[in-house]
Amino acid sequence: MGKPKTEKEQEILENVLKEEIDFITYVDLNTRVSRVIVTNEETDVMPTNGGDYDEINRQAIPAYVHPEDQEYCAKQLDISYIQAELEKKDHMVVNYRLLCGERYRRKELSISYHKGDKNTLVLVRRDVTDSYEEEQKQKERLYYALMDARHANQEKNEFLERMSHEIRTPMNSIIGLSYLTSEHADNQKQVLENLTKINVSAHFLLSFINDILNLSQIESGNVALIQEDAELDTFLEELGGGICKKADNKEIHFSMEKRGDFKQKYSFDVEKLRKALLNILENAVKFTPTEGKIDFIIEKTLDTDTETTLRLEIRDNGIGIDEDFLPYIFDPFEQEENRNTTLNGGTGLGLAIARNIIEFMDGRIDAYSEKGKGSTFVVTITLQKVADDEERERKQNKSERMDYDFTGKRALLVEDNEINIEITKNILLHKNLEVEVAVNGEEGVTRYLEHEPGYYDVILMDIRMPVMDGLTATKQIRCSGREDSLQVPIVAMTANVFEEDVRKSFEAGMDAHLSKPLDIKQMYFVLDSMICG
Ligand code: ADP
């Protein structure tokens, strides 16, 4: 840095320094006189020019330094202490709080010898209040982030523990009962009883796994709404009909009141909305004792040419929910009764899923309850209207039929799991579809290539397989350059049910995606549209 030559340059330099610092002073250690070089006039506590260094400190420290910092400050600013410190390092820094007007500000005093001259001490003081406060805030933010992360980790562990428990319970009965059945294979009555129990456990397991997947899919945003056209009236009647039966079985009075006309068709994710409402309605049945009452009231709160806002109220006079528990009611795995999932047969996921679905559909769900008096759940959701469309209606009716016949058609089933091969083969043979099997992707490709084009009417492809997975096998078939390589229908059949997996199978060249466990009706419907057009 060159020396400023003119008065103006000197002035500029001083102004810049004043912005940055409170003051610069130097002390002649022979005379102990302190001289001020630059000061910032805005600084409340100013050093005196030409005063005795020790005397200045003696007066200023008790008068302006924060009581908690006075002892420290007096020690640090003592000349002999400074000299000892500067034997060890080039400069030392003293931090303290100084009374400036009404409040204490953070100051940083930097002390060094002038160019190594042990007779001249240079002291530079800065105000570091803002950066100190910013640093404190940053520390606080980090602290809370750390706490959040710990909390999330703890929640994750609890979640895994609950999952593991929920899965183990039915698994134990499946394993135990399978063993007992094989031990008593000749006792047909017991075999049938055990199989029924195994079936119940397996279905519980499946619905639990589906619930977990639903929850994680929706929470990760890794899910899409599948819009279908449905008449609201039919949707509500089906929903109410199912619940009415369950309520009847428990001798609960169930009433559904539709306030208005709901013959209109709407485009919405029928399955997801059904699932959300079912979870709430089934809870109402579950937590209302015999001779209780459940009202399901549906009304329109807004109706335009294109959309309708619905208010669906599910009100029961059952056991009610404690006000302490009410805020947690939509959290996963939360249950009031000792928070123990096995007590009421549920998993504590029903309301978490319901809320996720409703919020995903841009609606809202609220719960009101009084212990011992009953509970009310209110869902508000806006649905888009659709114009009548006969074509779509016909298509939908088609998915309801079961009279399929695939006589004369042949499928290649590419699947590695023996039990799945057995089950799928039986389902297909039931509708006269001839089935050949390949046990991995590589064998599937070979089978396809060794027959003439058109030999297989459809290829059913598992995704996760040893040797070669289904996505690679599909790509190889599509790229084989054979006459029918782009036409032969390939249907993914997999337990990978995330949106992402479905997208990957389509990208690999598949025409449809069936998830396991197989929905038989859907499977026939898809095969029919693939093979018979
Ligand atoms: P699950 O029903 O499988 O236990 P949910 O998430 O559906 O799980 O419900 C969580 C908890 O909320 C229930 O275990 C119960 O304690 C409480 N709850 C839900 N609905 C009702 C209701 N209608 N009446 C009383 N308690 C309810």
pLDDT in tens, 165-212: 778 878 888 888 888 888 888 889 889 988 988 988 888 888 788 778
- Asked if residue 389 has pLDDT above 60, the reply is no
Widest pairwise Cα distance in the chain:
115
For the residues of 125-183, what is the DSSP string, one character each?
Answer: EEE-HHHHHHHHHHHHHHHHHHHHHHHHHHHHHHHHHHHHHHHHHHHHHHHHHHHHHHH
- Calpha distance 296→312 (Å, rounded): 7
CA of 298 to the centre of ligand 1 (A): 21
- Calpha distance 472→487 (Å, rounded): 17
Mean pLDDT of the chain: 86
Where residue 41 falls among pLDDT bands split at 50, 70, 90? low
- Calpha distance 495→511 (Å, rounded): 17
Question: Does ligand 1 lie within 6 Å of residue 170's CB atom?
Answer: no
Question: Does ligand 1 lie within 6 Å of residue 336's CB atom?
Answer: yes
CA of 328 to the centre of ligand 1 (A): 10
The residue whose C-alpha atom lies closest to atom 19 belonging to ligand 1 is 283
Question: Does ligand 1 lie within 6 Å of residue 329's CB atom?
Answer: yes
Question: Does ligand 1 lie within 6 Å of residue 443's CB atom?
Answer: no
Rg (CA), the chain: 39
**Which residue in 122, 102, 101 sits closest to 112, CA to CA?**
122
Ligand 1 atom nearest to CA at 349:
6
CA of 254 to the centre of ligand 1 (A): 18
β-partners of residue 365 are 379
- Calpha distance 48→56 (Å, rounded): 8
β-partners of residue 385 are 266
- Asked if residue 399 has pLDDT above 60, the reply is no
Cα 391 to its chain centre, rounded Å, is: 38
Q: Residue 446 has what pLDDT?
A: 95
- Asked if residue 353 has pLDDT above 80, the reply is yes
Pocket test for ligand 1, best of 163, 280, 287, 344 (most atoms within 8 A of CB): 287
Summarize the confidence of residues 14-21 as an average pLDDT: 75
Q: Where is average pLDDT lowest: 75-89, 261-275, 382-396, 398-412? A: 382-396
Residues of 142-161 as b/e, b for ≥16 C-beta within 10 angstroms? eeeeeeeeeeeeeeeeeeee
For the residues of 383-435, what is the DSSP string, one character each?
Answer: EEE----HHHHHHHHHHH------TT-EEEEE---HHHHHHHHHHHHTTT-EE
Question: Does ligand 1 lie within 6 Å of residue 317's CB atom?
Answer: no
Summarize the confidence of residues 356-377 as an average pLDDT: 93
pLDDT in tens, 133-167: 999 999 999 999 888 888 888 877 777 777 787 78
Ligand 1 atom nearest to CA at 318:
24
Contact present, 4 and 16 (Cβ < 8 Å): no
- Asked if residue 356 has pLDDT above 70, the reply is yes
AA identity, residue 352:
A
Contact present, 52 and 29 (Cβ < 8 Å): no
- Calpha distance 362→298 (Å, rounded): 18
Q: Residue 342 has what pLDDT?
A: 42
Where residue 524 falls among pLDDT bands split at 50, 70, 90? confident
Question: Does ligand 1 lie within 6 Å of residue 281's CB atom?
Answer: no
Exposed/middle/buried for residue 194 (C-beta within 10 Å: 0-12, 13-18, 19+): buried
Q: Residue 522 has what pLDDT?
A: 78
Summarize the confidence of residues 32-42 as an average pLDDT: 82
Contacts 24+ apart (CB under 8 A), 38-47: 38/14, 43/100, 43/127, 44/99, 44/100, 44/101, 45/98, 45/99, 45/100, 47/23
- Asked if residue 395 has pLDDT above 60, the reply is no
Q: Where is average pLDDT lowest: 34-43, 303-312, 359-368? A: 34-43
- Asked if residue 363 has pLDDT above 80, the reply is yes
Cα angle, residue 364 at apex, residues 358 and 366 outer, rounded to 5°: 115
Q: Residue 472 has what pLDDT?
A: 95
Where residue 341 falls among pLDDT bands split at 50, 70, 90? very low
Q: Residue 200 has what pLDDT?
A: 84
- Calpha distance 8→213 (Å, rounded): 74
Q: Residue 340 has what pLDDT?
A: 39
Where residue 338 falls among pLDDT bands split at 50, 70, 90? very low
CA of 457 to the centre of ligand 1 (A): 49
Q: Residue 513 has what pLDDT?
A: 82
Q: Residue 209 has what pLDDT?
A: 83
AA identity, residue 339:
R
pLDDT in tens, 428-487: 888 889 999 999 999 999 999 999 999 999 999 998 889 999 999 999 999 998 888 999
pLDDT in tens, 242-282: 999 999 999 999 999 999 889 899 999 898 899 999 999 99
Question: Does ligand 1 lie within 6 Å of residue 365's CB atom?
Answer: no
Q: Where is average pLDDT lowest: 34-38, 213-217, 290-294, 387-391? A: 387-391
Q: Global pTM?
A: 0.52
Q: Where is average pLDDT lowest: 27-36, 37-46, 283-292, 380-389? A: 37-46
Percent over 70 (pLDDT), the chain? 90
Question: Does ligand 1 lie within 6 Å of residue 346's CB atom?
Answer: yes
Q: Residue 119 has what pLDDT?
A: 93
Q: Residue 532 has what pLDDT?
A: 73
